[in-house]
Amino acid sequence: MDIRMAKHENDDGSYEVYFVGLKHWDEFDMLLKFLEEDYGCEILLNIGAVYLRKAELLCNDTHFILMYDDMLGNYFYTEDATLVPFLEQLAQDVINSIKQKLREKGPS
């Protein structure tokens, strides 16, 4: 399974840090669970609509958003460029944790 992180800067100056390979609706819940249980993030808001999910999180005194969009998949979103390195590292840490758990589980 190819899981990796990618970053995109939008025209309005906001940033998206993608979980490439984790693009499905139910993987949003898995990511949220990892962030809450393994990384101590507090869920401030968790809402969903037909094609979109949004969770506002607080982690290490840093406020950011985890989004799911049926066209884009799962990603962190911020309008604060100074948070991008933190979000990139957090995304990579989560991806590494998921890969480790998959290796421990072994082939199905």
CATH topology of domain 4-105: TATA-Binding Protein (3.30.310)
Spell out the domain ranges in the chain. 4-105
The CA–CA distances, whole Å, from 47 to 6, 16, 20, 44, 107 equal 24, 19, 22, 10, 34
pLDDT in tens, 53-98: 999 999 999 999 999 999 999 999 999 999 999 999 999 999 999 9
pLDDT of residue 100 exceeding 70, the answer is: yes
| Residue 27, H or E segment | helix 25-33
Query: Model's pTM, two decimal places?
Result: 0.92
